A and B are shown apart, each in its own frame.
Chain A
Amino acid sequence: MGKKAIISGVHDTAVGALPESTCMSLHVEAALGALVDAGLKLSDIDGLLTAYSFTSPQLMLGGVFGEYVGLHPKVNASISMGGVTAGLMVHHAASLVKAGICRHVLCVTGDNRLTGMGERVQAALADVGHPQYEQPYGMSVPAAFAMAAQVYFHEGWLNGEHLAAVAVNQRVNAALHPQSHLKKPITMDDVRKSKVIASPLRMLDCCLVSDGGAAVVVSAAQTARDLPRRAVELLGIGEGHTHEHIFAAPSLVDFGCKESAATALAQAGLAHADIDSAHVYDCFTSTLLITLESMGFYGRGEAGPAALAGEFAIGGRFPVNTNGGLLSYGSSGAAGGMFHVVEAVRQLRGECAQRQVKDAEVALAHTLGGIFSGHCSIVMGRL
């Protein structure tokens, strides 16, 4: 131990409907952007981590990308764990540089989910859920996430107003980001009157589907003095994995985020109150609130009222998802989680202009895969 890992470069591509984009074009753009940001050449990269693609599925995405850009890394792996993947990539990259195996690990994600799926959308959706014990019942992803939300509603810990406050706040934040997918303002009423998808979740409680990509470079801390940007240190990273299918979740109230956040904070030697800006996976409005409570940032039944009181706003007590998150900034497969990592880094570098959280010194990025199944919490701070 003793070696430290930093994030030396980040980049996110345009998001939204990008009909000319492909999985590979988004990977290339994100990767080269992160290299420029880090002041590195492609040949400086000795580790490559990639995720997965729905629009252009590959047996070895890392091999395909490396070949395409002309990279021959010492370490190469593709991780496929749904929405938690981006966090896992950063975790593995940090382990590689701390162990001295790599100096600079490129973590790159991207998919043209919105315009590139065509008829495969249905096939991809049909694959969600256990083929024997869930798919025969017409399970949808929103309905599976709604199982936890319904318990919170039943207990009086959440209501529709709380969820709507999350959606409205994140749209406000997205409007302050030059490249967010959706900027059109929405009202509480718009959310509350949007179509029910799977009760209690409505259309505007659900994340977007976007084309887009994002990449980060994780480097050994001793390289930091050569880098052009202020580096951000990875202070603590934790994971939590409890189940895959929602019927097998040990609880419908607490999830693996409880363990992942506790591990990350303990490693960092920090407390919940030290987090200045939080960037938390928000595939649904309810997912965000439940995750914040389960991680211990709020007591039971307190996250919803906090959202309603404006605490998550950029100038609020606990700024959350300052880029607009998956709900309004963009959601492009594994890149969705990486957008959160990128925004957390930008906050700590003080590059967020109108979205800047004042005096942001410590940030949390949290990714989630499956149905609250796998979690990764990353605590980072200014070096």
Chain B
Amino acid sequence: MSEVPSLPMPMPMPAPDACSRPYWDGANQDVFRFQRCRACGRAQFYPRSLCAHCQGADLGWETAAGPGRVASFSVIHRAPLPAFASAVPYVLALIDLDEGVRFMCNVLNCDPATVRIGMRVRLCFQARPGSTQKVPQVEPAES
């Protein structure tokens, strides 16, 4: 039996659709775009074809300034997929951006043991090997 050469397992990457393309294109330009409803004024994550609060269809795009805080987090020691096995321990977090939207990402560029709820963070954009798509991430605000 000949050995199958082991290829590095790629991390799952998003497949942007018509609705989310501005968001993912934004990430490639190092901006975090989110929608705000012109009828009720609510900001929402993730991009949708309607406002999930009032069902209005008149949505505008805005750009987050960058700062936010950790709403909650977990340090993952057992990866769900082989692609993340070499990354453990890594931080999965829910981030509240100052504009009022919550999203999930990793907290990069810090010791996972230092992450706390309420910790101030700022957006950064991570390039992934083998992909032209960057993903929104955060890092500690003071680094």
Contacts and interface: CB of A to CB of B under 8 A. Distances in A.
A151 B71 CA distance: 8
A247 B45 contact: yes
B16 interface: yes
B11 A138 contact: yes
Given A138-B90, A195-B77, A198-B92, A132 B72 contact: no
Interface in A124-183: 125-126, 128, 130-144, 146-148, 150-151, 154
A246 B106 contact: no
A36 interface: no
A127 to B, nearest CB: 10
B75 A199 contact: yes
Interface string B74-95: 1111111111100100101010
Interface residues of B, number: 37
Contact of A198 (B74, B81, B117): B74
A247 B104 contact: yes
B135 interface: yes
- Taking residues whose C-beta sits less than 8 angstroms from the other chain, chain A's interface range is 35 or more
B20 A154 contact: no
A268 interface: no
A29 B26 CA distance: 54
Contacts of B64: none
A246 B13 CA distance: 19
A65 to B, nearest CB: 31
A201 B74 CA distance: 9
6 contacts: A130-B46, A132-B16, A136-B135, A139-B92, A150-B73, A247-B45
Interface of A: 122, 125-126, 128, 130-144, 146-148, 150-151, 154, 195-201, 245-248, 252
Given A136-B12, A136-B135, 13 more contacts: A131-B14, A133-B14, A136-B13, A138-B11, A138-B80, A138-B83, A140-B80, A141-B80, A144-B92, A146-B74, A246-B94, A248-B45, A252-B72
